[in-house]
Amino acid sequence: MSTASNIARRLLEVGAVKLAPQSPFTWASGLSSPIYCDNRVLLSYPEIRSEVIDGLKELTPQFGEFYGIAGVATAGIPHGALLADRLGLPFVYIRSKAKEHGRQNQIEGRVEPGKKYLVVEDLISTGGSALKAIDALKAAGGDVAGAVAIFSYEFPAAVRAFEQADVPLATISSYSTLLDEAVKQNHISNAEADALGNWKEDPRAWSESFKAGA
């Protein structure tokens, strides 16, 4: 079994990913979504946690040499820290915005100017949080080797956003792989998988269609 398939299977196994095509979840944006993903659940399972770090490590050679790891707050912090420890590299983490007290830091840890960092996020949806963190890292003088994550919804808009930012992106597993595993494990039917496949191409249209038919 490939690493991508194994991690997808693990996500389903511990309930870190839930698929509900008939009773979608509602995102903060108001969109209806047939999937809910919370990779933080994986931290409670040492064996799976180790497999995730192995998977992230497998992705790193494609980015060439880099100096350190930068975790995106909050869910990217633990996985980033574990990866940095596995690789024996410096680690920093990046908040969505600067603190309003103390030293008012947005980045915790020491960013070495001109040095390349690999950015770690847990989940790529639109890519907005990771790219915002990358902007903050560059503003602090750091350089970016690329970004990695555990899972991606594979939204075309996110792919374009990373391409436009000229930031290489790699994820351990993906929405398409997850659907394949979900069918194999009888979480969903083939027909449901086909319908769910349409969601990632245009989540807003899928949401509006579901609400119209509800």
E-strand stretches of the chain: 17-19, 25-26, 32-33, 35-37, 68-72, 91-94, 107-108, 116-124, 143-152, 169-174
* 35 and 175 Cβ atoms separated by less than 8 Å: yes
> Has 48 been labeled as part of a binding site?
no
Tell how many helices (H) and how many strands (E) occur in the chain. 8, 10
Measure the CA–CA gap between 90 and 117, rounded to whole angstroms: 9
> Has 123 been labeled as part of a binding site?
yes
Measure the CA–CA gap between 117 and 65, rounded to whole angstroms: 9
For domain 3-213, give the CATH number.
3.40.50.2020
> Has 126 been labeled as part of a binding site?
yes
pLDDT attached to residue 97: 76
pLDDT attached to residue 127: 94
E-strand stretches of 125-187: 143-152, 169-174
* 90 and 68 Cβ atoms separated by less than 8 Å: yes
User: How do the pLDDT tens digits run along the chain, 214 residues long?
Assistant: 899 999 999 999 999 999 998 899 998 778 889 999 999 999 999 999 999 999 999 999 999 999 999 999 999 999 999 999 999 999 999 998 765 454 557 999 999 999 999 999 999 999 999 999 999 999 999 999 999 999 999 999 999 999 999 999 999 999 999 999 999 999 999 988 988 898 998 998 998 888 887 6
> Has 95 been labeled as part of a binding site?
yes
> Has 125 been labeled as part of a binding site?
yes
> Has 124 been labeled as part of a binding site?
yes
> Has 122 been labeled as part of a binding site?
yes
Paired residues of 121 in beta bridges: 149
- On the 0-12 / 13-18 / 19+ scale of CB atoms within 10 A, 139 is exposed
Measure the CA–CA gap between 150 and 179, rounded to whole angstroms: 16
> Has 128 been labeled as part of a binding site?
yes
pLDDT attached to residue 100: 46
For the chain, give every domain's residue range: 3-213
